Amino acid sequence: MGRRKSRTFMELASPAETSKEPEVRAEEWPTAIYARLSIENSGKDDQGESIEGQVEICRDYIEEHPYLHYTDTYVDNGWTGTNTDRPQFQRLLGDIYSGRIKALVIKDFSRFSRDYIEAGNLLENVFPALGVRFISVADRYDSLETDGSANSLLIPIKNLINSFYSKDMSRKVSSAVHARQLAAAHIPSMIPYGYIKSTTREYRFEPDPETAANVTRIFQMYVDGVSLSTIANTLESEGIPSPGRLRWLRGQTKDIRYKTSRWAPTCLSQMLRNPTYLGHLVFGRMPTALYLGKPDYKYEFDESKWRVLRDMHEPLVTQEIFDQAKVIAAKSQREFGIMRAKSAEYRTQNVPIFENVLFCGDCGRKLSYARDTHKPERMTGRYYCPNKRMHGSFTSINQDKLKVIVWQAVKDQISIFCGYDEAIQKLQGGATTARLEEYRSQIQSLGLQVKNRRDRLERLYEDFADGILSPEDYMQLKKKYESEYQQFSGELTELQGRLSRLKKSLSGENRWLVHIREFSDAEAFSMDMLNTLVEKVLIYHVPDGSLQVEILFKYAAERDLLIEACGEMGGDKK
């Protein structure tokens, strides 16, 4: 196994080509490995491109560089590099932002990202600002050693080539898929609700015994004058899983969002317009094509862009019912447009200002906003959790009342700032704290311990080679010193991180301090204040029917460190 690993690495960089090894540094770099494989290549083993091959190459590199301390591996298997919203990629970025990861090793740039704009922003702006070291093994690139030379200047070009390659592949794949669709040798990847893949005919659908009748019933209810909201509520009350939840229950998706997916008017509206239920194969309703700037699935409302192959499977509704539903939907759309035109001024004055930060603390869902159109004197609406199944009722909170609560919480934050203002000025003037001195002393001590264990390991091998130590004694002492080296290195890294965060919190870079000072003279609540200071607002439903509000502020960790330091300086505690 070891021999094969060595050979894999040497194929990427021969000794003659490898740049001079940098001196071993006293500090340790908590290092992550990131590997990615696209859907087309997932599961294949192709010259180091497989997940196992990528991780192996990165591990070899880390093992050969003692200043890199392996911490974690992040793997996105079956994800395209053009989409940065990959689960493990996002987890990696979260750990980088938190300071847990300070070095990242990948096999090559294409594994990291094929979006040259996003990759360029991370490599040229985000990572340097966070002090993160970026290493691409196959490209022989280490961000710590770039100096603006031609080598480092090739990075954006390489990322751009990766991006163009992905778009070119997207164009070719899309053309091939479209040709297969027109030849009836392809079916949509998202099988419409009410159908399953045919067990007797290739590239065809057949009615789903469990759900086909639901589709027929939905069309009939709508034609009979039942509103979409009432249909959705009826299906929910009867315990019929929505299309998304059914996919979750059947194991067709692992996306946690679909676990609690509910019937909604939007979903029903799209079903009522879908010619698939007339027995046709329909393509282009949910298009995705990178080269067209559509990397993710989005519903296409323009039916002229749909590609329809007629009479390909058994219909679930008649043409008469389908046409009636279409006429009713068009009438409802016109009436809705007229209503929105009449209420345009009212809606402009009554915007949901908390829509991006307000969530249910019990189930995690974003709260919905409802305006009271029957009482226009109320210039604000109310927020409620749509998850009626959990709460049993639509408990709501008025927007004006929520503004008062949030404004009071912001004033409390401003009060904290004013209470520590004198201590803050001393700290920014160069005053130190007992905690700072303690960290510096501990770091110095641990640095000596790390150096001592590293020196012992080097001398240990020399003693073994000279015959002073037996193989048994050598292995025993080597294991002991390596264990101590890792322990002290880990403690040193953690302490260095604490010191760095503490020093930053005491400096002008403290983001909580910068932003709270910006609003220290504010006399009223504002949207700018909300967007700058508030991370999230959680509404909890208390059993007695009342509500509890929790406000999570941005940069809370930096605030708490600053308060702790001010407390050591003798500042008032509020």
Question: How far apart (Å, rounded) are the C-alpha atoms in residues 388 and 386?
Answer: 6
Instruction: State the pLDDT confidence band at 174, using cuts at 50, 70 and 90.
Output: low
pLDDT band at 136 (very low <50, low <70, confident <90, very high): confident
| Distance, CA of 395 to CA of 235 (rounded, Å) | 22
Instruction: Evaluate whether residue 475 is within a structural domain.
Output: no
**In this structure, are 259 and 297 located in the same domain?**
yes
Please indicate, yes or no, whether residues 30 and 142 belong to a single structural domain of this protein: yes
Q: Is the pLDDT of residue 293 over 60?
A: no
In angstroms, rounded to a whole number, what is the distance separating the alpha carbons of residues 305 and 358?
Answer: 37
pLDDT interval class at 566 (50, 70, 90): low
**Would you say residue 360 lies in a domain?**
no
Predicted confidence at residue 317, as pLDDT, reads 93
Same domain, 12 and 141: yes
Establish if 139 belongs to a structural domain.
yes
Q: How far apart are CA 222 and CA 225, in angstroms?
A: 5
Residue 476 CB neighbours (<10 A): 12
What does the alpha-carbon distance between residue 210 and residue 472 come to, in Å, rounded to a whole number?
A: 68
The mean-pLDDT minimum among 28-42, 151-165, 531-545, 549-563 falls in 151-165
Q: What is the CATH number for 299?
A: 3.90.1750
Do 25 and 138 lie in one domain? The reply is yes
Q: Tell me the average pLDDT across 136-161.
A: 61
Identify the weakest region by mean pLDDT among 62-71, 76-85, 303-312.
76-85
Q: Count Cα neighbours of 361 within 13 Å in the Cβ-side half-sphere.
A: 14
Residue 11's pLDDT is 35
Q: 136: closest CA among 4, 122, 125, 99?
A: 122
The verdict on residue 511 lying in a domain is no
Of the given ranges (455-459, 483-487, 501-505, 534-538), which has the lowest mean pLDDT? 501-505
pLDDT at 129: 80
Is residue 557, in this structure, part of any structural domain at all?
Answer: no
E-strand stretches of 172-303: 195-197, 205-207, 281-283
The DSSP element (H or E) to which 349 belongs, if any, is helix 344-349
Contact 184/309 with Cβ under 8 angstroms?
yes
The answer to whether residue 23 is domain-embedded is yes
Distances (CA, A) of 2 to 8, 34, 72, 322, 538: 10, 21, 21, 65, 52
State residue 209's pLDDT score: 94
Contact 534, 550 (CB under 8 A): no
Question: Are residue 148 and residue 199 in the same domain, yes or no?
Answer: no
- The pLDDT assigned to 237 comes to 92
Q: Looking at the predicted structure, is the pLDDT value of residue 69 above 50?
A: yes
Tally of domains within the chain: 2
CA distance 441 to 434: 11
89-103, 245-259, 506-520: segment of lowest average pLDDT: 506-520
How large is the average pLDDT for residues 545-561? 83
Question: pLDDT tens for residues 487-520?
Answer: 887 787 777 766 666 666 666 667 777 788 888 8
pLDDT number for residue 175: 55
Of the pLDDT bands very low, low, confident and very high (cuts 50, 70, 90), residue 429 is: low
The model scores a pTM over 0.75 = no
Q: Is the pLDDT of residue 9 over 70?
A: no
> Where a domain ends, among 340, 374, 408?
340
pLDDT tens digits for range 306-321: 777 888 889 999 999 9
Model confidence at 433, pLDDT cuts 50, 70, 90, reads: low
pLDDT value at residue 176: 57
The answer to whether the CB of 538 falls within 8 A of the CB of 550 is yes
Is 156 in the same domain as 202? no
Both 246 and 158 in one domain: the answer is no
The 10s digit of each residue's pLDDT in 270-283 is 889 888 899 988 77
| Structure confidence by residue, pLDDT tens digits, 354-368 | 988 999 888 788 888
For residue 60, pLDDT over 90 is answered with: no
Range of the domain at 213: 195-340
138 & 199 share domain: no
Any domain includes 390? no
Among 195-204, 447-456, 486-495, where is mean pLDDT lowest?
486-495
Closest CA to 354 of 323, 328, 380, 320: 380
Same domain? For 49 and 150 the reply is yes
Give the CATH number, domain containing residue 104.
3.40.50.1390
In the predicted model, what is the mean pLDDT of residues 406-421?
81
In this structure, the answer to whether residues 145 and 203 fall within a common structural domain is no
Same domain, yes or no: 163 and 200 = no
Is the four-CA dihedral 91, 92, 95, 96 of positive or negative sign? negative
By C-alpha distance, which of 95, 106, 45 is closest to 71? Answer: 95
Question: What's the mean pLDDT in 398-424?
Answer: 82
Average confidence (pLDDT) over 60-86: 82
Helix axes 265-272, 319-342, angle to 10 degrees: 130
Asked whether residue 221 falls in the same domain as residue 160, the answer is no
Domain boundary among 98, 133, 168: 168
How far is 493 from 499, CA to CA, in rounded Å?
Answer: 10
Q: Mark which of 325, 340, 355 sits at the end of a domain.
A: 340
**pLDDT class of 148 with cuts at 50, 70, 90:** very low
Q: Which of 169-183, 301-315, 391-405, 485-499 has the lowest mean pLDDT?
A: 169-183
- With respect to residue 57, please indicate whether it lies within any of the assigned structural domains: yes
